[in-house]
Amino acid sequence: MTDALPPRVDFNVKAFERLLNQKGLCFTWEKATICFCSREDGTSDPNCTACFGNGYLYFDPKDITVVVTTLKDTKAFGDLGEHGFWILGKVSITSPAKHNLSFKDRLTAKNSQITYSQLLFIGSKERLRYKALEVIFLASEAAVFKLGIDFEIVDGAIQFLPSKEPPAGTAVTIRYIANPSYIILEAIHEIRDTTLVPATFTRMPRNHIAELDYLHEVAI
């Protein structure tokens, strides 16, 4: 008779994270904290100049490498679909154990790109949601504006050239290329740890579900 335990299979955290660093994508991770304007009923000031009405402040930006997987259907996540889980615009994000991603944190792609469209009003305080990498189309009801002739892209923002800016209050539509941002919605494995042989407490990679930020704001 022996008290020896049978052989066991352990998760190789170091090997997994080496693979993650080789195959993952680079994102800028910003930590979230509740804004000062938040109220007892859970709402926030829509005119707040610190959080722009979303109720959260972001700080401590840091570039990290994560694995991103698109959620194409609900079958892979069991009963989530039966409870009204909204798949459009959501992704699964796996991060190294050393990064404590949390609810409402923001991840912005460094290299991956999306096409985004929005409406701006000349002279208002509105701004582009993302830094524009390339402008595909920019127009008012009366004119179509051309890069280098009517406007320039300055640090990701649209800057009209002298005498080319439309009158104050004019609605301008823009379609442009940008790096997308995602908001962490939930942690599938908030506590994902194990004990390896010999008895060594080891943190495991984390898995979260995130959503494109502009879709998240529509939903809340």
Residue 212 β-bridge partners: 182
Q: Is residue 2 part of a domain?
A: no
| Tens of each residue's pLDDT in the chain, 220 residues | 456 666 666 777 778 788 888 888 999 999 999 999 988 887 888 888 888 888 899 999 999 999 888 765 545 445 444 444 445 678 889 888 888 898 999 999 999 999 999 999 999 888 899 999 999 999 999 999 999 999 999 999 999 999 999 999 999 999 999 999 999 998 776 667 676 666 777 777 888 899 999 887 654 4
Q: What is the pLDDT of residue 131?
A: 95
The phi and psi torsions of 13 (rounded to 5 degrees) equal -60, -45
Closest CA to 68 of 193, 179, 178, 182: 182
Residues 18 and 53 in one domain: yes
Closest CA to 119 of 139, 146, 99, 97: 139
Q: What is the pLDDT of residue 2?
A: 58
Q: Is residue 8 part of a domain?
A: no
Joined together, the tokens standing for residue 146 give 């051309």
Residues 159 and 188 in one domain: no
In CATH, what number is assigned to the domain containing residue 99?
2.40.10.270
Residues 51 and 96 in one domain: yes
Q: Is residue 25 part of a domain?
A: yes
Closest CA to 208 of 61, 109, 67, 79: 67
Q: Is residue 61 part of a domain?
A: yes
Q: What's the number of domains the chain is made of? A: 2
Q: Is residue 1 part of a domain?
A: no
The domain of 197 spans 13-111+180-219
Burial 69-99 (b: 16+ CB within 10 A, else e): eebeebeeeeebeeeeeebebbbbbbbbeee
Q: What is the pLDDT of residue 144?
A: 97
Which residue spans within the chain are E strands per DSSP? 25-34, 56-70, 90-95, 106-109, 114-121, 134-140, 151-154, 157-160, 171-178, 181-187, 193-196, 200-203, 206-212
